[in-house]
């Protein structure tokens, strides 16, 4: 029988502070570039990862599980990015 240890870092106050900071970073990068960015928790390193997402139709794996941060100005969104229209 295996023991499963569940990491609960994501529910801590420190994680919320890091999430808020990384979410603001992702939003700023999305607004600047016009590309969607992904935000994903990394419990091993106790951090959140921000990365550029490919076009909506080309997303696979962890790109479908992450939080998607789109640019706020619809006129600067690149094709295949931003909220579905």
Query: For 40-65, how does the pLDDT look when each residue is reduced to its tens digit (9 = 90+)?
Result: 998 888 899 999 999 999 999 999 99
The average confidence (pLDDT) of the chain is: 88
DSSP state of 22: H
Phi/psi region, residue 7 (left: phi>0; alpha: psi -120 to 50; beta: rest), is: beta
Domain ranges, ordered by start, for the chain? 38-85
pTM: 0.83
CA pair distance 13, 46, nearest whole angstrom = 12
């Amino acid at each position: 029988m295996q023991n499963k240890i569940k990491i609960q870092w994501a529910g801590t106050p420190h994680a919320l502070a890091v999430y808020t900071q990384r979410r603001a970073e992702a939003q700023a990068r999305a607004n600047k570039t016009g590309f969607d960015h992904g935000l994903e928790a990394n419990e091993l390193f106790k951090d959140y990862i921000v990365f550029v997402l490919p076009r909506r139709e080309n997303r696979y794996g962890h790109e479908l599980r992450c939080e998607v941060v789109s640019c706020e100005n619809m006129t600067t969104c690149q094709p295949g990015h931003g909220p579905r229209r």
